[in-house]
Amino acid sequence: MLSNISELASLEPHDVVIVGGGAAGLTLAHALKGKGLKILLLEAGGEKRKNSIQDFYRGEFNDPHPRIDRYRERAIGGTSRIWGGRLIPFDPIDFERRPWVPHSGWPISYDSLKPYYERATREADGGVGAYDVLSALPNSQKEFVPGVDSDLVATTLERFSKPTNFWKRYGESLREADDVRVVLAAPVTGVRLVDGGSAVHSLTVSSADGKNFCVKGRYYVLCLGGLETARLLLASHDQRSEGIGNSSGELGRYYMSHLSATAGTISFNRQEAEVAHDYERDAEGIYVRRRLWLNENAQRRFHLLNTTFRTELPDLSNPDHGNPVLSAMFLVKSILLYEYTRRFSERKVSLAVRGKHVKNILGHPLQLTRFGINWLRNRTLADRKLPSVVIASPPENRHVWEFHAEQAPNPESRVSLTSERDANGMQRLKVNWRPTPLDFESLRQNYRILSNELVRTGVGKLEYDPDSLEPRAYRYGIVGGHHIGTTRMSEDPRHGVVDSDCRLHDVPNLYIASSSVFPTSGQANPTLTLLALTLRLADRLLLNLR
């Protein structure tokens, strides 16, 4: 049921108090619903996004990290309101301690998450969870291009959600539930410990009119994302001056994202029809797409970070592509998401260049019209939306190449608090994002090995400038919506914030469901692994509460 913040003053303690109404918080509430418990979910935002509410996310950041009030939504549904829907599990090697990757290794294995990956894929509207081509597309071409798979290179698959807004998915069910209470516009501004600091006593919730409410529960779960989770724990320093969960000094450290940008072009010695780089649908109608991956064997042999590759659109700002669709996309870029416009704006565009874009559009009106009709049908009006634009037949069969690379954990890449405070009195966040030399050396090695394999197998040719990889990855690479690390999971309390059950090492009734607990970032987008960990946490909480 939905409740007003004023009702918090009269509520009895709940069994589980969930902080944050994004993908993790809503999935956790839904998983605990109907189990004979009392669940309270507190969401800082309302039902719609408001710029005045987004201002609470504003903070300091170093260049080239994007503004930290971007890519996040302070409203019910959280960032699932704007995400692209990409679903990819981590690989088994991501959970291992890799000697060539400092601070790597999870205290849990891939096998412990595997059944939850299957559940998480269904919860995210991603279908049955088949992530290999033969299972998902049994009657289709297995490889990205025939002959490309080898001892070092493999074709893998990514699946796509609708994309799903988790409030739209679970909202009606939670509104009707007698055992779940959802309170909007209820930001948690402090976690209060009992005297001595051995457990959480209560949460402080601040209303827009300046009133504070005390909320109590048996267990508390923070589902606030990689940035806000660390901010709340650091700012809750009335009992512990260093913040909650920071006895090891690790809170806020190991902040990671992914490095992803276009670099180079790839051409294949095959007919264009044999290059399976576009979206396809599986038997359930789920969109899937192939990628190339330097597999675990390559990573072990050459000491690489986990990296995948796919085709991407050319620089839209350059009208030499001659494509009316791309020119139209560029000219209307101001209405696109900031994540994409940031990449489109790689050069200054004069009036003459804009005139060439207009010429592309006017010269091919039928092509643009056909695209517009298909986009309206398959994207704008469709419940399950076509994820993005892909050029089916690029000029000269030459594709722009994009990498999506793991970032190594770095204790000096961190978030901390500033002296400035928001309207609720919470200290704002400062982000100091720092990639490592390993990130860039691994990227160069990935490109070199893939290029050599394409030539060795006779499949194609990868053309790129090795000297441009590092500056390009640093300037354009960081994926602004992937906030990973800051409350890392560890077996040893000296080396992390939470244990293998996502419970704070030194606060037994406080848990975290967030990509902030990831010890490493892997090659995969974080959402699916976050949902798998959340479902696993739900089972742990049910065992404890029973």
Q: Are residues 250 and 338 in the same domain?
A: no
Q: Are residues 175 and 233 in the same domain?
A: yes
Average pLDDT over residues 353-366: 87
Cα-trace Rg, the chain: 24
- Assess whether pLDDT exceeds 80 at residue 5: yes
Q: Are residues 323 and 364 in the same domain?
A: yes
Q: Is the dihedral of CA 313, 318, 322, 325 positive or negative?
A: positive
Q: How many residues does the chain have?
A: 546
Model pLDDT, residue 347: 54
Question: Do 340 and 330 contact (CB within 8 A), yes or no?
Answer: no
At 358, the pLDDT band (50, 70, 90 cuts) reads confident
In a domain, 334, yes or no: yes
Supply the mean pLDDT for the chain: 94
To the nearest whole percent, how much of the chain has pLDDT over 90?
A: 82
Check whether the bond before 64 is cis (ω within 30° of 0).
yes
Average pLDDT over residues 106-123: 97
The enclosing domain of 169 has a CATH number of 3.50.50.60
Choice between 317 and 110, residue whose per-residue pLDDT is larger: 110
Model pLDDT, residue 393: 73
CA–CA distance, 73 with 327 (Å, rounded to integer)? 30
Instruction: Specify the DSSP element, H or E, that contains 225.
Output: helix 225-235
Q: What six digits make up the tokens of 24?
A: 């993790």
Model pLDDT, residue 338: 54
Identify the domain boundary among 329, 359, 389: 389
In a domain, 359, yes or no: yes
What angle, rounded to 10 degrees, do the helices at 166-176 and 23-32 form? 30
- Assess whether pLDDT exceeds 60 at residue 286: yes
At 6, the pLDDT band (50, 70, 90 cuts) reads confident
In a domain, 127, yes or no: no
Q: Are residues 236 and 334 in the same domain?
A: no
Model pLDDT, residue 457: 96
- Assess whether pLDDT exceeds 60 at residue 323: yes
At 353, the pLDDT band (50, 70, 90 cuts) reads confident
Q: How many domains does the chain have?
A: 2
CA–CA distance, 459 with 532 (Å, rounded to integer)? 37
At 348, the pLDDT band (50, 70, 90 cuts) reads low
Model pLDDT, residue 497: 98
- Assess whether pLDDT exceeds 80 at residue 480: yes
Q: What six digits make up the tokens of 161?
A: 């959600």
- Assess whether pLDDT exceeds 60 at residue 341: no
Q: Which residues, 6 or more positions from 465, have their beta carbon under 8 angstroms from its beta carbon?
A: 263, 264
Token pair 């692994």 is found at 529
Average pLDDT over residues 369-376: 91
- Assess whether pLDDT exceeds 80 at residue 411: yes
Q: How many CB atoms lie within 10 A of CB 141?
A: 16
- Angle formed at CA 421 by CA 502 and CA 17, multiple of 5 degrees: 30
pTM for this predicted structure: 0.95
Instruction: Specify the DSSP element, H or E, that contains 469.
Output: helix 466-476
Model pLDDT, residue 152: 98
Residue of 408, 528, 428 whose CA lies nearest to 121: 528
Phi first, then psi: what are they for 130, rounded to 5°?
Answer: -85, 120
In a domain, 299, yes or no: no
Question: Do 220 and 191 contact (CB within 8 A), yes or no?
Answer: yes
DSSP string, 333-361: GGGS-HHHHHHH-SS---HHHHHHHHHHH
Average pLDDT over residues 379-384: 95
- CA 417 to centroid of chain Cα atoms: 23
Q: Are residues 328 and 246 in the same domain?
A: no
Phi first, then psi: what are they for 46, rounded to 5°?
Answer: -105, -155
Q: Are residues 496 and 372 in the same domain?
A: no
For residue range 33-88, list pLDDT tens digits in order. 999 999 999 999 999 999 999 999 999 999 999 999 999 999 999 999 999 999 99
In a domain, 26, yes or no: yes
Average pLDDT over residues 367-382: 92
Q: Are residues 224 and 328 in the same domain?
A: no
In a domain, 183, yes or no: yes
In a domain, 136, yes or no: no
Poorest-pLDDT segment among 48-52, 103-107, 289-293, 448-452: 48-52
CA–CA distance, 124 with 139 (Å, rounded to integer)? 25
In a domain, 6, yes or no: yes
Task: For residue 338, give its domain range.
Answer: 319-389
Q: Are residues 522 and 426 in the same domain?
A: yes
Q: Are residues 416 and 331 in the same domain?
A: no
Q: Are residues 79 and 199 in the same domain?
A: yes
CA–CA distance, 303 with 367 (Å, rounded to integer)? 46
For residue range 181-216, list pLDDT tens digits in order. 999 999 999 999 999 889 999 999 999 888 999 999
Average pLDDT over residues 402-415: 98
For residue range 439-461, list pLDDT tens digits in order. 999 999 999 999 999 999 999 99
**Cα end-to-end distance, the chain, whole Å:** 23
- Assess whether pLDDT exceeds 90 at residue 228: yes
Q: Are residues 418 and 379 in the same domain?
A: no
Q: Are residues 340 and 425 in the same domain?
A: no
